[in-house]
Amino acid sequence: MSFQIPRGTQDILPGEVEKWQYIENTARDLCSRYQYKEIRTPIFEHTELFSRGVGESTDIVQKEMYTFQDRKGRSITLRPEGTASTVRSFVEKKLYANPSQPTKLYYIGPMFRYERPQTGRFRQFVQFGIEALGSNDPAIDAEVISLAMNLYGTLGLKSLKLVINSLGDTASRTAHREALIAHFEPRINEFCSDCQNRLQQNPLRILDCKIDRDHELMSSAPSILEFLNEESKTYFEKVQQYLTANGISFEVDQNLVRGLDYYNHTAFEIMSDAKGFGAITTLCGGGRYNGLSQEIGGPETPGIGFALSIERLLSALEAEGVELPISSAIDCYIVTMGDQAKDRAVSLLYDMRNAGFKAEKDYEDKKMKAQFKAADRHNAKFVAVLGDDELEKNVIAVKNMDTGEQEEIGIDRLISYLKQNSK
Ligand code: HAM
């Protein structure tokens, strides 16, 4: 019997995993500069958290969750995203009581959605996300957006498009909602069955429909921007002002509707403009969710964040031909000849590794030539050659693979030699 990996998942193997590590380290470093602290929440939560938090009418809750009953009959769901869990933890662990506010958190971890797998769309994917809870300052909106743009920029992406919109506060949204219902209702039977359900549940989501996107009523639908009250308008203007002050260019797209229900005020997405990038161009999505904490039983707390998947980030890097500066080189490979030398190499290797060097040797009794080849494959900066003859004289031959220079040194000097000569 043979097994295959489940559809929509992937094994990340050595050779590829270094890119993931590089991206994750860059994200962690950026978070520490912006003072976001890591939070690790469980991979699964009670289903209710997502149906309430993400929203009953969303595709995620209706079609995409991995939900099962545990042995006690409780409904459990593999997390489809990180915001609901983060806010759940913020409420449950009373992080709002911490004197230092806003609470700025980030996460990197697998998320699960039962979607149709295709390029850039997986059933298990890794999101890097940040959430800032407890501040209603538009400067935080600009900060969150700038951190995402900064990550992409630091990694070398250039063809990016930032699109922002405002979904307004509750009053603005209610007025817009009514206008949308009035706009679509007379001809709703021309729309797909999902949209027919959305009309009363969440008419905003009709604007995001992939099936009906070319229907003539779509382009003439009332824009949220016409319904923003003064407060929401001023807020949105301030966010734009801060983005401009940070040198971040953006487009306002009044049709930008995010696929999750918790958003209000600022909503944004970052897309790749790169030629050759697949059909799914959204790299990152986020926005403000001021009602979410209350929705799941917590105190009234404003919040904003984003999430992006490493998978799509890697596709964008590939589409733009960006090579990450990853080195697989090791410091020293020991080539041995003879049994005594082989034994001595075991402790030399141990000493080198203890001293902080990346070092390797052969474990397959290979001939010398094959050992040199292995040193090449490891990209060794130095090759240390030890034969029984050398061992008798207590010396070792060290070859600098960059310069080709070779010298014989006392075995005891190997570590200090490497320290002196490796940069
Ligand atoms: P989202 O738009 O559902 O938002 O997902 C955010 C990002 O996750 C997407 O832009 C994409 O990079 C990635 N993503 C989503 N689904 C897949 C998939 N099937 N395969 C690969 N990548 C995927 C959220 O999840 C919100 N929690 C974001 C947020 C945080 N809003 C506020 N705070």
How far does the centroid of ligand 1 lie from the alpha carbon of residue 285, in Å? 6
State whether the beta carbon of 285 lies less than 6 angstroms from ligand 1.
yes
Bridge-partner residues for 164, per DSSP? 252, 268
Residue 265 and residue 237: Cα distance in Å, rounded? 11
Domain ranges of the chain: 17-169+229-319, 332-421
Taking 90 as the threshold, does the pLDDT of residue 259 lie above it? no
Provide Rg for the chain, Cα atoms: 28
Does the beta carbon of 242 lie inside 6 Å of ligand 1? no
Q: What average pLDDT score do residues 82-102 get?
A: 97
Cα–Cα distance for residue pair 101/37, rounded to 1 Å: 12
**What is d(CA 81, CA 86) in angstroms, rounded to the nearest whole number?**
10
Q: Name the closest-CA residue to atom 31, ligand 1.
A: 286
What pLDDT is attached to residue 379? 96
Banded pLDDT at 279 (limits 50, 70, 90): confident
CA-nearest residue for atom 33, ligand 1, is 305
Q: Is 113 in the pocket of ligand 1 (CB under 6 A)?
A: yes
Quickly list DSSP for 44-60.
EEEHHHHHHHT-TTSHI
160-166/44-46 β-pairing = unpaired
pLDDT of residue 261: 86
**Cα 124 to ligand 1 centroid, rounded to whole Å:** 12
Q: For residue 270, which phi and psi values (nearest 5 degrees)?
A: -115, 125
Residue 252 confidence (pLDDT) above 90: yes
List phi, psi (to 5°) of 226.
Answer: -75, -15
- The 10s digit of each residue's pLDDT in 176-187 is 999 999 999 999
Nearest CA to ligand 1 atom 17: 121
Does domain 17-169+229-319 correspond to CATH entry 3.90.1150.50?
no
**Eight-class DSSP state of 32:** H
Q: What is the pLDDT of residue 297?
A: 95
Just give the CATH number of 332-421: 3.40.50.800
Q: Which atom of ligand 1 is nearest to the CA of 270?
A: 10
Q: Which pLDDT does position 280 carry in this prediction?
A: 76
The mean per-residue pLDDT over the stretch 318-329 comes to 94
Decide if 123 contacts 7 (C-beta within 8 A).
yes
* Sheet of strand 406-410, all strands in order from the earlier edge strand to the far edge: 359-361, 332-337, 382-387, 395-400, 406-410
Give me the mean pLDDT over the 119-131 stretch. 97
Q: For ligand 1, atom 32, name the residue with the nearest CA.
A: 305
The letter for the amino acid at 244 is T
Give the integer Cα–Cα distance in Å for 117 and 21: 24
Q: Is 7 annotated as a binding residue?
A: no
Q: How many CB atoms lie within 10 A of CB 260?
A: 24
Q: From atom 4 of ligand 1, which residue's Cα is the shortest distance away?
A: 285
Ligand 1 pocket, 208 CB below 6 A?
no
CA 193 to chain centre: 33
- CA pseudo-torsion sign 405, 410, 415, 416: negative
Residue 258 marked ligand-binding = yes
Distance CA 384, CA 375 (A): 10
264 lines ligand 1 (CB under 6 A): no
Ligand 1 pocket residue status of 305, Cβ below 6 Å: yes
> Which pLDDT value is given to residue 13?
98
pLDDT digits (tens, 9 = 90+) for 341-389: 999 999 999 999 999 999 999 999 999 999 999 999 999 999 999 999 9
Ligand 1 within 6 A of 59 CB?
no
* Residue closest to 303 by CA, chosen among 312, 311, 295, 313: 295
Cβ pair 197, 57 in contact under 8 A? yes
Q: Which of 348, 342, 349, 347 is nearest to 367 (CA)?
A: 342
Residue 277 pLDDT: 81
C-alpha span between 420 and 417 (Å, rounded): 5
Question: What confidence score (pLDDT) does residue 14 get?
Answer: 96
Return the percentage of the chain with pLDDT > 70, whole number: 100
387 secondary structure, DSSP code:
E
80 lines ligand 1 (CB under 6 A): no
Out of 67-71, 136-140, 197-201, 263-267, least confident range? 197-201
